[in-house]
Structure 1
Amino acid sequence: MRADARSLGIMTRCQGSHFVDKGYYKKLTLYGRKHGIRVFVFSPRQVNFSSRTVKGFEYRNGSWQANVFPLPALIYDRCFVGPAYRHYKPFVEKLQNDRNITFLGRGLSGKWQVHQMLSKSPLLSSYLPPTEILSFATVQDMLQKHGAVVIKPMAGTHGIGVVRIKETKSGYEATGRNRENRPFRRQIRDTAGLKTFVASFTSGRKFLVQPYLKLHTPDGTPFDVRVLVQKNGQGEWETTGKAVRLGDKRSITSNLHGGGKAEPLSAFLARHFKPAVHSRIDQTINQLAQELPRFLEDCHGRLVELGIDVGIDTAGNVWVIEVNSRPGRTVFRLIDDPVAKRHSITQPVRYAHYLMKERVGGY
């Protein structure tokens, strides 16, 4: 049995009929149906490679209904990388190697791999914070040079496990979010205590260390800019939207999962930066949105969309903080941007339609 040429499978981690982002997938399904594309959700662990079928769920008549589907011609990979991903990875790789199946895009490996790829670009590398794989020696070295550092999990999401460590008169202070995404602040007396804290906090996971950048407003509210770029119906990169995410003052990150808020970019920049600086920041972000997806795709392979997280420090310098190949869309609903909200949902289906036409040489 060949792959179903007019179907798009959304690959995600399912526990029975439980999976995240049901609202988003419902909208994808309804939009796909209008264009003659059958959209369904499945777990890579439910694929039967012998019969080339998969157990999954399709939104019909107001609810998600279980069914067995032929393997889809196109797969939209929404399997978020994390500790549980190792249980899915062998099945994902087998699907990726199937010559009858096309992935809209292949997920990025992790923060360190992305940093190494972007470092190869003379333009993009100038916007990357100095980054090293964490060891206690690298933490000490950066603390000596910069006075404060940030440690973050290589495969972390939502700001979980991101910690600022800074020198104080009485030793060190660690501020951030723990593994349960709760904000914390801890005073550490000396270097031995710091070594114990770092070893305990990072135990079992790989971390990166970077200089701490002052990515906050004058009143200490952390913020970053989410730029969503996606392939459109012509297979070309397009900027869907830009928005500012503001975090809790008790935190050092601005992720919405940590209790953050959102607002439109232009109004935010106008409030906090002088017109000339505002204009320069705008131009830089637009340049990054144009250059980064193409360069990263050349290094990595096909991508369908990227969430580019941009930091702006108190001096108005722009930094590429993180790039996510499975971005969320909540921020555009929160800032009430109906065009960005609509495009964020419809672009993957438009791109899938473009790829279907490419595969069969037009209808």
Structure 2
Amino acid sequence: MPKIHGMTIALIGSAIAAVGVMIAPLFVDLFQIMQLTVFAAMAILALSLGFIWGYGGILCFGQTSFFGLGAYAYAVAAINFGDSTPAIVLAIIVPVIFAALLGYFIIYGGVSDVYLGVITLTVSLILLNLVNSTAGDVYKIGTARLGGFNGIPGVPTINMPGDSSYILSPEQAWILTGLALIAVYLGLRVLIASTFGRVIIAIRENETRAALLGYDPRIYKLLTFMIGGAVAGFAGALYVNWGAFVSPTIFALGLSAQIIIWVIIGGRGTLVGPIIGCLLVQWMVTEIGSQQTLDASFILGAVLIGFVLLVPKGIAPTVRDFVAARLSRSNSDTVIEDVKQ
């Protein structure tokens, strides 16, 4: 049996997923479409950490910093411009610039990975308190009032590029967000398969050896950090579009922990793993919240402990290894039968 390349599998799976995204509004009601939209936006956020941690080896506890900056950049720009297209662009650019500045001082400063996680978490908490203290008319950017702990309500949602009067319907917003998730996944797959991707994986495995081969680990880690910031900022823009509202809670510690849990449950070193982990956990939290009988945080903690003890690699790597083992055994059995004949 000929071996199927991993990228081919990813393209086929993405094509099937894209068809599912397009036809979902025909079979799912509006409430479920809204749920799927926020799940897809959060899955893009999960991809951002899955990329920089799983492939770049950078454990960022403060991925909500870029997520929140992207969300606020979108909200402020959309209110001032009245058009979502430049707002989405700024939602990507602002976190990238922030990631470049923060990453430069951390990575080029020789801060170890453990302290990098602590610093990024601290930055998220600083942003939380900073934005939380912007109540009052004096705190505004252009015509957009930051609103402090009340947040920014009534954020303009995504419109058709070039026509600000054409606002996307919830179904169209779902299709846009779902296809965006697929596009980000494929884009990161292509990036990982490139020379840049192979270098960052080599740096993750052995930074000293990569340096001896002539690669500067600092610049590659900084670029990886910036790419993760861009993806998280884009996710923030889509998240704000879902609810037409943003508040300082987007920088909260709880969300930072959830992102890490998504990646751990789904599986580090994969891209489909963080997506699976995010969708599974978000669905579970939603179901528990609707029943109002169990504490979601308690159940989430129990699930995390269970996965760490029983499925330490995560869902995607465990399934991949199981399938590979079965195929290897099947091929071995075929060879033995051929020899016997």
Q: Please classify the TM superposition score into its range, dividing by the shorter chain length.
A: under 0.3
Q: Which has the higher helix share?
A: 2
Name the structure with the higher strand share: 1
TM-score by structure 2 length? 0.27
Higher relative contact order (CA 8 A, sep 6+): 2
Superposition TM-score, scaled by structure 1 size: 0.25
